[in-house]
Homo-oligomer: A and B are copies of this chain.
Amino acid sequence: MTQTTRAPINTADAAHTLEWLRRFQRVRSASETLCAPLETEDYMVQSMADVSPPKWHLAHVSWFFEAFILTPYLKDYQTPDPAYDFLFNSYYETHGTPFPRHLRGTISRPTVKQVYQFRAHIDQEMERLLSAPPPEHLDEIIDRLEIGLHHEQQHQELLVMDIRHILSCNPLHPVYRDDIRQTLLANAEQAPTAHDDNAPVDNDPVNNEPRWHRYAAGVRQIGADYPTESAFDHDGQGFVFDSETPRHRQYVAEFELADRPVTNAEFIKFIEDGGYSRTELWLSDGWHLIHQTGWQAPEYWQRVDGRWHTMSLGGLVPVDLNAPVCHVSFYEADAYARWAGARLPTEAEWETAAEDQPTDGHFVEDEVLQPQASAGARRQGPQQLYGDVWEWTGSAFLPYPGFTPLEGSLGEYNGKFMSGQMVLRGGCCATPGDHIRASYRNFFPPQARWAFSGIRLARDI
């Protein structure tokens, strides 16, 4: 990120910058839309250490623009409160000591209203900056703006995850949006119940084996490079995080990949076959974990009148047997795969399969916020690689050969988490549809279940 002296911004640049401003406004607005159904009280809750209060998310993504763009690049920028720089820093240790994560739910001030005022302040100042950007920093500003927008989109997904967790803890079973409830009830109604002998073969979630796609062995190109055009000029479609770079070669042996994610019906068979009590199916850490936690089913599941239900964003609804299983840990995904005589794909295998596939699953824009069965006739190639559920891979989140993190505090974005986590691929029903791509590497610790994480099987030939 070397700086060059530049002449005053020219017309083409100005037009381009305004396009960025409009994109900024769209992304910012989407975060607020997601929070619209919340009560003020919901904004405050940290229902477990991994969850952040929605209020905090809204402030933190705004702080990101303040800390990395407005403070360094906007002349005379004034923060509403210097303490925000401490309160809303997530984990940028080189920027300053962050407020302790597990206490985020104890901070009632600034209030929700004040956080929205902070957002409005940031929006206004960003508009001021982008209306007359300093030409000599234009490239960096756009680079950071682009990261900031992808960052806010990541937090939109986290908002959905966290809101679900927050409401699911409540014994009153609150409903986030009633239209979601109606959709999910209808879905569950349509799906045949388990062991429905009259179900048509093609639509039988229990007995319908996945089909397998075969991929030849060979040296593959994996990952992505930064766009070669200048950051300022590119249209944002080529954006990648540092952790996806550089594009590099990997030898991938011959393998097969299931044409669809594992369904709830299939996972129930695993449960009914004693999957949670058969030690030979589990990694050692997973075996100890399920004994410590008492897990006997995916997160949010409970039995009501003999039928599995899930506490969704539409409240407590019956599990849709056709839909992909969701909210399982890596350990459960791995144990399921072993039970099924298969394994999880590596991230290179997944990317090999996904590279030329359309992103046609369900995303946040579908507004159901729950993985759904693939609709209609199956087209050629694996279905739902994108959307619906993040797919656990068997790969640890480690740097690619030649990886170099971003400079400065933004280098903490991904690189320092390359330890103790597993990669997930493909996005989910809470991901913005334009935020996903074949090379995107999501990551969570193997015990995490509150992401929309599911299972796709692979196997050796």
* A401-B103 in contact (CB<8A): no
Q: Which residue of B lies closest to A81 (CB)?
A: B172
* Given known A171-B83, A248-B253, contact A108–B282 (CB-CB < 8 A): no
* Complex contacts, A41 vs chain B, CB 8 Å: 40-41, 43-44, 55, 108-109, 111-112
Is A283 part of the contact surface with B, judged by Cβ < 8 Å? yes
Query: Cα distance A87–B169 when bound, in Å?
Result: 12
Indicate which residue in B110, B251, B412, B446 contacts A249 across the interface (CB closer than 8 Å): B251
What band does the interface of chain A fall in when counting residues whose beta carbon is under 8 Å from B?
Answer: 35 or more
A 59-75 to B, binary, CB cutoff 8 A, 1 in contact else 0: 00000000000000000
For window 195-236 of A, CB contacts with B under 8 Å fall at: 217, 219
* B398-A396 in contact (CB<8A): yes
Is A124 part of the contact surface with B, judged by Cβ < 8 Å? no
* B171-A402 in contact (CB<8A): no
* A419-B286 in contact (CB<8A): yes
Indicate which residue in B93, B251, B285 contacts A279 across the interface (CB closer than 8 Å): B93
* B287-A93 in contact (CB<8A): yes
Query: Cα distance A418–B41 when bound, in Å?
Result: 36
* Complex contacts, A169 vs chain B, CB 8 Å: 103, 106-107
Q: How many copies does the complex hold?
A: 4
* A284-B398 in contact (CB<8A): no
* Complex contacts, A40 vs chain B, CB 8 Å: 40-41, 111-112
* Complex contacts, A279 vs chain B, CB 8 Å: 93-94
A 262-278 to B, binary, CB cutoff 8 A, 1 in contact else 0: 00000000000000000
Shortest Cβ gap from A216 to chain B (Å) = 13
Is A45 part of the contact surface with B, judged by Cβ < 8 Å? yes
* B401-A419 in contact (CB<8A): no
> Could you list which residues of chain A lie within 8 angstroms of chain B, going by C-beta atoms?
39-47, 55, 81, 83, 86-87, 91, 93-94, 99, 103, 105-112, 166-167, 169-172, 174, 217, 219, 248-251, 253, 255, 279-280, 282-287, 330-331, 334, 343, 346, 394-396, 398-399, 401-402, 411-412, 416-420, 446, 460
Q: List 18 A-B contacts (CB under 8 A).
A: A40-B111, A47-B106, A91-B284, A99-B171, A105-B105, A107-B170, A108-B166, A108-B170, A249-B251, A249-B253, A250-B250, A283-B416, A283-B418, A284-B416, A287-B416, A331-B419, A334-B419, A396-B396
The 3 closest A-B pairs by CB, nearest first: A396-B396, A41-B108, A251-B251
